[in-house]
Amino acid sequence: MSDPRRPLTLRDVSEASGVSEMTVSRVLRNRGDVSVATRERVLEAAKALGYVPNKIAGALASQRVNLVGVVIPSLSNMVFPEVLTSISAVLEDTGLQPVFGVSNYQPEREEAVIYEMLSWRPSGIIVAGLEHTDSARAMLENAGVPVVEIMDTDGSPVDSAVGISHERAGREMAKAIIAAGYRKIGFMGTRMPNDHRARKRLDGFRAVLAEAGIGLADSEFYEGGSALAKGREMTEAMLTRSPDLDFLYYSNDMIGAGGLLYCLDKGIDVPGRIGLAGFNNVDLLDGLPVRLATMDACRAEIGRQAAMIVAGRHPEGLIGGEVVTLTPKLEPGGTIRQ
């Protein structure tokens, strides 16, 4: 050994086992026929040396990369880790490996992440949302690999899409609330110009209210901090300044849960005096004293289907263009009058 810290190569294994590099390569990839004796000799040598194949070289030579890029806006949202988990689970059996990137809800950052990912020539890309910079969209269109946009289907996908209509989710919730007899409705959500899905839900929600001849009686937006605490604070503030509200619609379950805990604390009659609803159907809700009304965002199913689309596509014979629109289910819980 000239330099003990030089990374090992196929050649080292070849020399150690007295077999050609080519045959070593075949053994290590389980490709082609190799005699049992040779195979064992090679495996033994590779293990003894602690050889780890160099996928960079392998990928360059074979023009094949077992990576799937996954771009999401945030990790702290609790929603995305769940999608990632279901993507991982599906890809596990396919030999594909997910690689995650986070855009922090910034379009330019997303563009940079997509560029970086494409430069590794992945087998596919999964990206949250349909809104991208022109440049990012162009890159995705020209990538020559399956592109699946997830979470949302209100818009024009680059290629395939799996998600729900957030506009419709907002509409359905508004309908249910009105049907239950609530009329003075307040809204709380994040102040994030680039959270298009939250915006679409609010748009749909407002549209139905407008059709019913009522408007949002109050609304408030927050940023940063603990969502549960924010929900509590905002609810207190809103009920103080608009005491006649009879319903609070939250853009996510965490702030909704905060609001619910506040109301229970104060002994406010829920859902009699006031109703509450969130969005996402996160696990957390199971542990609350009263179940918050919510709408399931189908996160696990979205991840599953997106991964299957990416995995199922052969590099050749690209068809693409599937759009899967899942239907979110309203979970009335115990915070909407029956």
Partner DNA sequence: CTGAAAGCGCTAACAA
Partner DNA sequence: TTGTTAGCGCTTTCAG
Considering the rule CB under 7 A, would residue 9 count as an interface residue with DNA? Answer: yes
Q: CA nearest 206: which of 189, 226, 230, 194?
A: 189
* Cβ neighbours for 185, distance < 8 A, ≥ 6 positions apart: 177, 209, 214, 216, 217, 245, 246, 247, 248, 249
Which H or E run contains 247? strand 247-250
With CB under 5 to 8 Å by kind, the binding choice for 29 among DNA, its own copies, none is DNA
Considering the rule CB under 8 A, would residue 284 count as an interface residue with its own copies? Answer: yes
Restricted to residues 296-325, the positions that interact with its own copies (CB under 8 A) are none
The rounded distance, in Å, linking the Cα atoms of 105 and 227 is 17
Strand partners for 149: 127, 161
For DNA, the binding residue among 54, 76, 104, 156 (CB under 7 A) is: 54
Q: Work out how close the CB of 139 gets to DNA at its nearest, in angstroms, rounded to a whole number.
A: 14
The rounded distance, in Å, linking the Cα atoms of 323 and 160 is 5
Considering the rule CB under 7 A, would residue 60 count as an interface residue with DNA? Answer: yes
With CB under 5 to 8 Å by kind, the binding choice for 19 among DNA, its own copies, none is DNA
For DNA, the binding residue among 2, 4, 5, 7 (CB under 7 A) is: 7
| Amino acid identity at 332 | P
Restricted to residues 83-102, the positions that interact with its own copies (CB under 8 A) are 84-85, 88, 97, 99-100, 102
For its own copies, the binding residue among 193, 213, 215, 225 (CB under 8 A) is: 225
For its own copies, the binding residue among 38, 121, 180, 194 (CB under 8 A) is: 121
Considering the rule CB under 8 A, would residue 28 count as an interface residue with its own copies? Answer: no
- CA dist list (Å): 321 to 28, 111, 225, 260, 279: 36, 22, 39, 41, 28
With CB under 5 to 8 Å by kind, the binding choice for 116 among DNA, its own copies, none is its own copies
For its own copies, the binding residue among 288, 300, 308, 326 (CB under 8 A) is: 288
Considering the rule CB under 7 A, would residue 315 count as an interface residue with DNA? Answer: no
- Residue 106 near residue 129, CB atoms below 8 Å: no
* Cβ neighbours for 180, distance < 8 A, ≥ 6 positions apart: 271, 275, 336, 337, 338
- Residue 306 near residue 162, CB atoms below 8 Å: yes
For DNA, the binding residue among 2, 30, 35, 142 (CB under 7 A) is: 35
Q: For residue 333, how far is the Cα from the chain centroid?
A: 25
Considering the rule CB under 8 A, would residue 188 count as an interface residue with its own copies? Answer: no
Using only C-alpha atoms, the chain has a radius of gyration, in whole angstroms, of: 26
Query: SS3 of 188, please?
Result: strand
Q: Work out how close the CB of 10 gets to DNA at its nearest, in angstroms, rounded to a whole number.
A: 3
Count of residues in contact with its own copies, rule CB under 8 A: 53
User: Would you give the DSSP letter of residue 73?
Assistant: S
For its own copies, the binding residue among 16, 25, 71, 82 (CB under 8 A) is: 82
Over 132-189, what HEC string results? Answer: CCHHHHHHHHHCCCCEEEEEECCCCCCCEEEEECHHHHHHHHHHHHHHCCCCCEEEEE
Considering the rule CB under 7 A, would residue 134 count as an interface residue with DNA? Answer: no
Q: Work out how close the CB of 36 gets to its own copies at its nearest, in angstroms, rounded to a whole number.
A: 23
Residues near its own copies, by CB under 8 A: 5, 7, 50, 52-57, 59-60, 65, 75-76, 78, 81-82, 84-85, 88, 97, 99-100, 102, 115-116, 118-121, 138-139, 142, 144, 225-232, 257-258, 261, 265, 283-289
Residues near DNA, by CB under 7 A: 7, 9-11, 19-23, 25-26, 28-29, 31-35, 37-39, 53-54, 57-58, 60-64
